[in-house]
Amino acid sequence: MGEEIKVIVFKLGTEEYGIEVEKVQTIERLMPITRVPKTYAFVKGVINLRGVVIPVIDLRGRFNLPEVEPTEQTRIIIVAVNEMQVGFIVDSASDVVDLNSDSIDLPPEVVGGIKAKYLRGVAKLSEDRLLVMLNLAEVLNKSEIVQLEGLEE
């Protein structure tokens, strides 16, 4: 038997994604972001989260999805991985669900345009509801970003 885990559910487009709740520090409404010049295109800048300066990245941009204008539902999910604090801009964050880790299946090659290496797996919440679990360590892997940038140039 796998363990029960709590997962924060957020949306990019129509797809639903999940991050383990213990990796999420807080979820904030969109706030003023200070642009940081000469950095990756998907880094939107830095925010002041109660006295701490935190970089914010657009998760759509990170996954090479088309970027959209922010709406009332747009949220910043602040995650902490490997002592790094980073904010993710997502289309909306709505739900917390309980999940059994056994119900997470290996991801298919590509889900909604996101490469499998960024994914931990896919969980079936109900018959017509799939949740894509993110592999945060890979999403925040900088060496890989450096390579990506190098390719684009």
Site for other proteins, rule CB under 8 A: 32, 34-39, 43, 45-48, 51-55, 57, 83-86, 140, 142
Measured at the CA of 129, the angle between CA 9 and CA 77, to 5 degrees, comes to 10
Buried b (16+ CB within 10 A) or exposed e, 124-133: ebeeeeebbb
Nearer to other proteins, 142 or 152 (CB): 142
Distance, in Å, from the CA atom of 107 to the CA atom of 119, rounded to the nearest integer, reads 7
Amino acid letter, residue 46 = V
Q: For the CB of residue 153, give the shortest distance to other proteins in the complex, in Å.
A: 15
Distance, in Å, from the CA atom of 110 to the CA atom of 88, rounded to the nearest integer, reads 21
Q: For the CB of residue 114, give the shortest distance to other proteins in the complex, in Å.
A: 19
Q: For the CB of residue 124, give the shortest distance to other proteins in the complex, in Å.
A: 32
Q: For the CB of residue 1, give the shortest distance to other proteins in the complex, in Å.
A: 36
Q: For the CB of residue 44, give the shortest distance to other proteins in the complex, in Å.
A: 11
Nearer to other proteins, 6 or 29 (CB): 29
**For the CA atoms of the chain, what is the radius of gyration?**
15
Nearer to other proteins, 45 or 70 (CB): 45
Nearer to other proteins, 104 or 134 (CB): 134
Nearer to other proteins, 84 or 96 (CB): 84
Of 88, 92, 96, nearest to 73 by C-alpha is 92
